[in-house]
Amino acid sequence: MIDSHCHLNLAPLGTNITEALQLAKQNGIERIMVPGITPESWEVLRQYTKQQYSDILPVDTAIGLHPYFLPSDIGAIPTLIKKLEEAVARAVADAKGGLRSAQGCSPTAQGCSPTAQGCQPTAQGRFCAIGETGLDGHISVDINIQKQVFHAHIALADAYDLPVILHHRKSHHLLFESLKATSFSGRGVVHAFSGSIDIAERYIERGFYLGIGGTITYERAKKTRDTVAHLLRNHTDSILLETDAPDMPMAGRQGQPNMPHYLKDVVTALADISDIEPSEIEALTSANYERLFRPKPF
């Protein structure tokens, strides 16, 4: 099982990262993706890709600015976007260096040459996406500020051929508008997807995967459960598992922080609403994760 969206750096997970990773490993998690949320988070996340953590569990990371944490002063935005661009350029350069020194890779002018053994150090976590970014129709940050910052993320994902991690809340129509306006033709994941079959299909047509999390564990979430049942019948190659820990508690675990090792609850719920075995759900969502996030050599 791979947790494709977990905020390991946020309390209480961030205060004992080793324990959170160990618990996850003991409960069958093979890998975790931690999205970036603020400039301060980027350096913290970079540490998670180091060997000491990869020895427990590989942690992949993304660089991004979550809409929740954007300043409301539009004057501060250009500097923030510049910071984002510089951080991504640095991370891409670091990733290139890491690949070149990885076993089986020979450095060339074009970057890394894949060999029969493959080129990527899969045992180690790495920077491999842009996000978390998106649009939120439920917060006080001006939507024009959100759009400006979101479009900067889209441009970076396009420029570096990286997948983008999308946040949505009351904003599917705005996201589609922005994807069209920016002519984004890349790939990505709509994290914590909830919505109709029609909306799900529109994202899939655009090359997006859909992150399925704790919402599905609640029987009352009928619309999302119906949509996900449809995805399990028709689009098993477009879904990912996620916890969004420490947020989005699973059914029966309300009042306590969500943890990556509860990911199995999502698998159980998916098996309940389909005729797919839990082990098959785990295998296919892991393969989907690898396809989306495992980048081609830079």
Binding site for Zn ion (CB under 5 A): 132
Enumerate the β-bridge partners of residue 62. 129
Comparison of 98 and 213: residue with beta carbon closer to Zn ion: 213
Shortest distance, position 131 Cβ to Zn ion, whole Å:
9
Shortest distance, position 272 Cβ to Zn ion, whole Å:
25
Decide if 37 contacts 69 (C-beta within 8 A): yes
Neighbours of 252 (CB within 10 A): 9
CA Rg value for the chain: 18
Comparison of 41 and 49: residue with beta carbon closer to Zn ion: 41
Shortest distance, position 209 Cβ to Zn ion, whole Å:
15
Shortest distance, position 258 Cβ to Zn ion, whole Å:
11
Shortest distance, position 35 Cβ to Zn ion, whole Å:
6
Comparison of 3 and 132: residue with beta carbon closer to Zn ion: 132
Comparison of 34 and 119: residue with beta carbon closer to Zn ion: 34
Comparison of 96 and 169: residue with beta carbon closer to Zn ion: 169
Decide if 24 contacts 261 (C-beta within 8 A): yes
Computed from CA positions of residues 152, 154, 158, 164, in that sequence, does the dihedral angle turn out positive or negative? Answer: positive
Q: What is the distance between the alpha carbons of residues 250 and 228, in angstroms, rounded to a whole number?
A: 16
Task: Tell me the backbone φ, ψ of residue 214, rounded to 5 degrees.
Answer: -60, -25
Q: Which two tokens stand for residue 39?
A: 């400039």
Residue corresponding to tokens 């979550």: 66
Comparison of 132 and 136: residue with beta carbon closer to Zn ion: 132
Comparison of 29 and 232: residue with beta carbon closer to Zn ion: 29
Shortest distance, position 167 Cβ to Zn ion, whole Å:
6
Comparison of 132 and 282: residue with beta carbon closer to Zn ion: 132
- Report the half-sphere exposure of 181 (CA within 13 A, side-chain side): 11
Shortest distance, position 213 Cβ to Zn ion, whole Å:
10
- Comparing C-alpha atoms, which of 243, 176, 164, 167 is closest to residue 4? 243
Shortest distance, position 191 Cβ to Zn ion, whole Å:
6
What is the dihedral angle through the alpha carbons of 247, 253, 257, 262, rounded to the nearest 10 degrees? -80
Residue corresponding to tokens 């129509």: 173
Q: Please, is 22 exposed, middle or buried when counting C-beta atoms within 10 Å of its C-beta (0-12, 13-18, 19+)? A: middle
Q: State the residue number with the nearest CB to Zn ion.
A: 132
What is the dihedral angle through the alpha carbons of 12, 18, 20, 21, rounded to the nearest 10 degrees? 150
Neighbours of 272 (CB within 10 A): 13
